[in-house]
Amino acid sequence: MSIDPVVVVHGGAWAIPDEMAEAHLNGVRNAMAAGWQALHRGGSALDAVEEAVVVMEDDETFDAGRGSFLNREGKVQLDALIMEGATLRAGGVGCVEHLRNPVRAARKILSESPHVYFVGEGAERLAAEHGLPLCKNEDLIIPREVARLREFQAHAAEQKPDLFAPAVSHDTVGAVALDRNGDIAAATSTGGTLNKAPGRLGDSSLIGCGCYADNKTAAASTTGWGEPIMKLVLAKWAADRVASGNLPEWAAAEAINYLKARVNGHGGMILLDARGRLGIAHNTPRMAWALKTVKEESSGINRNG
């Protein structure tokens, strides 16, 4: 029996300013279209989430790939995870500095390696051995981010940074998909948080925190300040609630409520089960999202449910 496919993507949850809304909307729509095309060509859910995330890594609007936030030493350090719901195969990279598309490296790890997670130079070496081009770190840095870091550091002493405030930008990207075989997958990619310490990993690339996929539960991708999210293993938390019989719509909203209630976190989540039921939730003023099913194509910068 052929299942109706679904693609859902997000491009970060925060108080996206009006002047940046269109760029975010275009970015998530392009990503959704790329994911849908992959499915249309007969690709798997895994192919769909990879292609969707690559589009957003290549789009400087987002905190993923080129154009990411800089760490406190002025470097880009990227994290990504991809996971397949049918087999629980997963591939993750952390703190990579020379890859334009870390999700492609994550996919290579998933399909070519007996291991699940690689960091730094080892991850880059594995990617290069499997044909992915390495770039200079400077190739990932854009002037907007140099200025943003300079501004942040100039005011760091006088600011009392509220690390959990929704005004802090979070442009991490993610995708979940369901293919015609009834398999689901998820991927998340990020440059992490502005001015982060070198070597810091957030939730995004950690299994069950920023990304998770299991056909028996659900596929999830999160965004928001990573430290609170990872403490709650939030993606797995939400997926498990779907397995206990809750609608993804409800489980996503509950997960975000739990994030706020338990650790005062702000963020967002997309959640999809193998029956094609989905949830999109955030407690930030806005979150860029787009989705496509056989019956519906929609996108926005605000949605709960």
Per CB under 6 A, residues contacting ligand ASP are 12, 63, 170-172, 190, 192-193, 202-204, 210, 223-226
DSSP H helical ranges for the chain? 18-40, 45-57, 102-112, 120-129, 143-155, 226-231, 234-243, 248-263
CB of 250 to ligand ASP, least distance (A): 22
CB of residue 85 vs ligand ASP: minimum separation in angstroms?
A: 21
Please state the closest distance from residue 108 (CB atom) to ligand ASP, in A: 22
Residue placing its CB nearer to ligand ASP in the complex, 44 or 221: 221
The helices-and-strands tally (H runs, E runs) of the chain is 8, 12
Please give the Cα distance from 79 to 95 (Å, whole number): 6
CA angle 25, 69, 171 (to 5 degrees): 25
> From the candidates 61, 87, 172, 188, which is the catalytic residue?
172
Q: How far apart are CA 94 and CA 204, in angstroms?
A: 9
**What does the alpha-carbon distance between residue 106 and residue 110 come to, in Å, rounded to a whole number?**
6
Smallest gap from residue 173 Cβ to ligand ASP (A): 9
Rounded to an integer, what distance in angstroms lies between the CA atom of residue 225 and that of residue 118?
A: 22
| Nearest residue (CB) to ligand ASP, 190 versus 215 | 190
Q: Closer to ligand ASP at the Cβ: 12 or 208?
A: 12
Whether 172 sits among the annotated catalytic residues: the reply is yes
Provide the β-strand partners of residue 78: 96
Q: Which active-site residues does the annotation give?
A: 172
